[in-house]
């Protein structure tokens, strides 16, 4: 199945209530018993078969997003072959189910040994604050992950009290890079006499020329509300420095979304709707349907995540690029859902081995096989597909301005604030200034009570 980047909409109130009142009714079945004291075994090199063998026969209980099944079907046999005394038991969950129940599960007496979380305040921040997951700095170093991740590893860092995001200890590891970019129809660009846009001005001009030629300029589906927000990042990342956006998302003191460059970005994006550059009925169209329509030849451009490459796969017809070169290729994006080791696990070395091996260079080819872009370098793969373009785009992004992360990470209510406001702005029911202020007011209210 295709792998999709999802967003989380759990409120702080929901999280708190779940932790306090829901433990008895929502625990993870079959997890390892907690070990006393919360001590961890620091490692300096990859965990060996011999080290794990000393644990005896072990059942490693894992919670994973259901989108991971295609990858894990390939990975688990390799892991169990390397560590033959370990029997891996995976419980696959939908994204919403996993993020809604993982805090209860990790705080229970039957916590899974390993689980996925989600970057940002609502899930990973709460796990760190409650002391439910093990710091992974030693694992990131031993398996070469820190070097491969580069500066983008900040999305996995927290202070020990869970109150500071973007610095401190590494608490999760994810093997793939997910990013919003620009899919384009090569034949239509050639017919229109256009090159792949390298700047926002070039892109806006290309949209105008496509419209004048009777083409659908930009195919988009926003029934999930998230897709327009993600597409907006192509505009916002072109002029606002990526480091400023990441600082705002991480909650850095003094950060402000309502700056002139962001207001102008909202104005530009809204004008595309007014000028008829967006595909008809976009708010009632799913992003999957929009991607499928684009793959069948509708539209000159499609702005979406690299996870749509399984739908827009023909490299002879389509290409994919990161954001605009003039903006340092900055768009919304992040690593995939991070893997965490329970601080209670009695199978700690086996859990560390799982997270380390899954996030190692050795596993990168498995991700490429399922059309996911590894953090570690990997060969380009089939040139007949768009996958080589995805690898190049990821490299450009990570080596330049870097990912913007996702706007809705900024607070526990930002998803609804941002997406709802953006729908209103595109429909002309609110102004860019008012939306920028609304977004910043949400941010300020959250961080004042944090």
171 and 193 in a single domain? The answer is no
430 and 285 in a single domain? The answer is yes
Paired tokens of 59:
């059942």
From residue 157, alpha-carbon distances to 128, 190, 210, 284 in Å are 10, 44, 43, 37
Sheet bearing 114-116, strands edge to edge: 86-93, 58-65, 114-116, 339-341
**294 CA to centre of own chain:** 23
pLDDT digits (tens, 9 = 90+) for 237-266: 999 999 999 999 999 999 999 999 999 999
Helical ranges in 107-225 per DSSP H: 126-129, 137-142, 145-149, 186-192, 200-212
Residue 226 lies in a domain: yes
265 and 406 in a single domain? The answer is yes
Paired tokens of 51:
């080290």
Residue 38 lies in a domain: yes
Residue 105 lies in a domain: yes
Residue 90 lies in a domain: yes
Q: In this structure, what CATH number is given to the domain that contains residue 425?
A: 3.40.190.10
248 and 311 in a single domain? The answer is yes
**98 CA to centre of own chain:** 15
Give the residue carrying structure tokens 């700690």.
348
Assign 3-state DSSP to the chain and report helix, strand, coil percentages, each to 5.
50, 15, 40
Asked if residue 72 lies in contact with residue 90, where contact means CB atoms within 8 angstroms, the answer is yes
pTM of the complete model: 0.86
45 and 159 in a single domain? The answer is yes
Cα gap 276→60, rounded to integer Å: 53
Query: Domain total for the chain?
Result: 2
168 and 299 in a single domain? The answer is no
**207 CA to centre of own chain:** 28
Each residue's pLDDT, cut to its tens digit, for the chain (450 residues) gives 344 454 444 433 333 433 333 333 333 333 333 343 346 789 999 999 999 999 999 999 999 999 999 999 999 999 999 999 999 999 999 998 999 999 999 999 999 999 999 998 889 999 999 999 999 999 999 999 999 999 999 999 999 999 999 999 999 999 999 999 999 999 999 999 999 999 999 999 999 999 999 999 999 999 999 999 999 999 999 999 999 999 999 999 999 999 999 999 999 999 999 999 999 999 999 999 999 999 999 999 999 999 999 899 999 999 999 999 999 999 999 999 999 999 999 999 999 999 999 999 999 999 999 889 999 999 877 789 999 999 999 999 999 999 999 999 999 899 999 999 999 999 999 999 999 999 999 999 999 987
425 and 413 in a single domain? The answer is yes
Residue 8 lies in a domain: no
266 and 138 in a single domain? The answer is no
Residue 432 lies in domain: 178-334+387-449
133 and 238 in a single domain? The answer is no
At CA 359, angle to CA 358 and CA 365, rounded to 5? 75
Paired tokens of 254:
């003094």
pLDDT digits (tens, 9 = 90+) for 384-438: 999 999 999 999 999 999 999 999 999 989 999 999 999 999 999 999 999 999 9
134 and 257 in a single domain? The answer is no
203 and 60 in a single domain? The answer is no
């Amino acid at each position: 199945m295709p792998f999709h980047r999802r967003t989380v909409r759990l409120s702080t109130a929901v999280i708190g209530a779940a932790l306090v009142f829901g433990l008895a009714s929502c625990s993870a079945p079959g997890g390892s018993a907690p070990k006393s004291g919360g001590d961890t075994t620091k490692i300096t090199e990859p965990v060996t078969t011999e080290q794990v063998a000393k644990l005896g026969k072990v059942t490693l209980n894992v919670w994973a997003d259901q989108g991971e099944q295609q990858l894990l079907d390939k990975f688990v046999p390799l892991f169990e072959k390397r560590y033959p005394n370990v029997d891996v038991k995976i419980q696959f969950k939908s994204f919403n189910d996993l993020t809604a129940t993982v805090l209860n599960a990790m705080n229970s007496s039957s916590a899974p040994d390993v689980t996925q979380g989600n970057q940002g305040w609502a899930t990973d921040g709460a796990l760190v604050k409650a002391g439910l997951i093990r710091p992974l700095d030693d694992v990131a170093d031993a398996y070469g992950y820190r070097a491969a991740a580069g500066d983008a590893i900040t999305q996995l860092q927290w202070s020990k009290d869970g109150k500071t995001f973007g610095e401190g200890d590494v608490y999760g590891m994810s093997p793939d890079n997910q990013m919003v970019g620009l899919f384009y129809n090569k034949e239509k660009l050639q017919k229109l006499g256009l090159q792949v846009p390298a700047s926002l001005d070039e892109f806006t001009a290309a949209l105008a020329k496509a419209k004048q030629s009777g083409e659908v300029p930009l195919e988009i589906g926003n029934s999930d509300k998230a897709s327009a927000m993600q597409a907006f990042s192509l505009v916002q990342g072109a002029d606002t420095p990526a480091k400023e956006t990441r600082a705002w998302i991480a909650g850095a003191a003094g950060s402000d979304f309502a700056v002139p460059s962001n207001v102008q970005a909202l104005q530009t994006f809204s004008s595309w709707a007014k000028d008829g550059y967006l595909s008809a009925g976009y708010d009632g169209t799913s992003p999957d349907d929009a991607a499928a329509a684009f793959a069948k030849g509708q539209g000159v451009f499609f702005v979406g995540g690299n996870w749509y490459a399984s739908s827009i796969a023909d490299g002879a017809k389509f290409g994919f690029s990161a954001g605009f070169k003039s903006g340092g290729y900055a768009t919304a994006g992040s690593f995939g859902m991070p893997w965490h080791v329970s601080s209670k696990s009695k199978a700690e070395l086996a859990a560390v081995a799982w997270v380390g091996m899954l996030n190692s260079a050795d596993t990168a080819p498995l991700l490429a096989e399922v059309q996911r872009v590894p953090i570690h370098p990997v060969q380009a793969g089939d040139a007949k597909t768009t996958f080589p373009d995805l690898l190049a785009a990821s490299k450009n992004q990570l080596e330049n301005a870097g990912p913007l992360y996702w706007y809705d990470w900024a607070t526990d209510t930002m998803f609804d604030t941002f997406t709802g406001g953006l729908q209103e702005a595109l429909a002309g029911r609110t102004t860019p200034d008012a939306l920028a202020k609304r977004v910043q007011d949400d941010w300020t209210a959250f961080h004042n009570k944090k």
